[in-house]
Amino acid sequence: MKIAYQGEPGAFSEAAARRVDPDAPLIPCRSFDEVFDTVQSGAASYGVLPIENSIGGSIHRNYDLLLERSLPIVGEVELPVVHHLLALPGATLDGLRRVYSHPQGLAQCERFLRTLTNVEIIATYDTAGSAKMVADAKMLDAGAIASARAGDVFGLQSLAASVQDFDDNITRFLVVGATPLPNRAPDKTSIVFSLPNEPGSLFKALSVFALRGISLTKLESRPIPGRPWEYLFYVDLAAARDEVHCTRALAHLGEFAPLLRTLGTYASWKTHEGLQPDPFEVVS
């Protein structure tokens, strides 16, 4: 099978894809939309997409794409993220005037970046892509926030290691595809629903899970385009969709939710963590 991911070689999404299957051929994509396109066209069996980071929060575009596209979630991956400030050999910290990275990478290193003086912070489409840009343009006065592997791929040195704000910096990725991942029993379900704008509607919605002892591991609201101040609710449930109590909870929710869609039922990362080690992961 082939796996699509967003970014250049050396991106954290590449490392996450390796955790799905270390031997699978990988297809780098320019954007998250392109990841979906690549899987839907059949050029890749699965796509890997970041959905939230323990420091920077949610990647909202991917929540929207899960609703816009028809590919279900079939798995998840958690990846420890260690950021480095990369630059060309010979560059110095004092000589930097620009630092590039993906907005999430910049958000995760905010405290460190505030210590840099006379340096412009510039957001780009990808962490590893920022490293590639610095290398290709031979910018001695610029650096990139990216992985150690990105430095190896593009011939950059690390001017500062582990520059993320917190040591426990973890990104959760979703795996999307038309077929379930092999040998992974579902124990988690992701859904999205809307509610009528009336008192107690969210309390009523969440109670269908509380009454059946189903834990919510994530609750995210997103605005509904074209309907100001109305929202969709994305929820992760600690139960497989086909478990009786989950099936009944969803049926109950469907009685009053104008929109209810299951985005996927899949194995949570804890059930197979460590079975697919990342050969490129650098933790220091």
The pLDDT tens digits for 216-265 are 999 999 999 899 999 999 999 999 999 999 999 999 999 999 999 999 99
- Amino acid identity for residue 154 in this structure: F
Q: What is the pLDDT of residue 277?
A: 42
Same domain, 193 and 90: no
Question: What SS3 class is residue 170?
Answer: strand
Give the domain range for residue 123. Answer: 84-161
Which pLDDT belongs to residue 56? 85
The CATH number for 73's domain is 3.40.190.10
pLDDT recorded at residue 270: 76
One domain, residues 123 and 143: yes
pLDDT of 225 reads 87
Point out the residues that are catalytic: 171, 173
Reported as half-sphere exposure (CB side, CA atoms, 13 A), residue 21 has a value of: 19
Can you tell me the mean pLDDT for 107-135?
95
CATH assignment at residue 233: 3.30.70.260
Q: Are residues 173 and 36 located together in one domain of the fold?
A: yes
Q: What is the CA radius of gyration of the chain?
A: 20
Q: Which residue has the higher pLDDT, 272 or 234?
A: 234
Question: Is residue 277 one of the residues assigned to a domain?
Answer: no
Amino acid in position 124: T
pTM of the model: 0.88
Q: 174 and 35 in one domain?
A: yes
- 174 in the same domain as 48: yes
- Chain mean position to CA 78: 9
pLDDT in tens, 34-70: 999 999 999 999 999 999 999 889 999 999 999 999 9
| 275 belongs to a structural domain | no
End-to-end CA distance of the chain: 31
Q: Is residue 207 domain-resident?
A: yes
User: For the chain, what is the domain count?
Assistant: 3
**19 and 66 housed in the same domain:** yes
Residues 138 and 245 placed together within one structural domain of the fold: no
| pLDDT tens profile 137-160 | 999 999 999 999 999 999 999 999
Same domain, 133 and 11: no
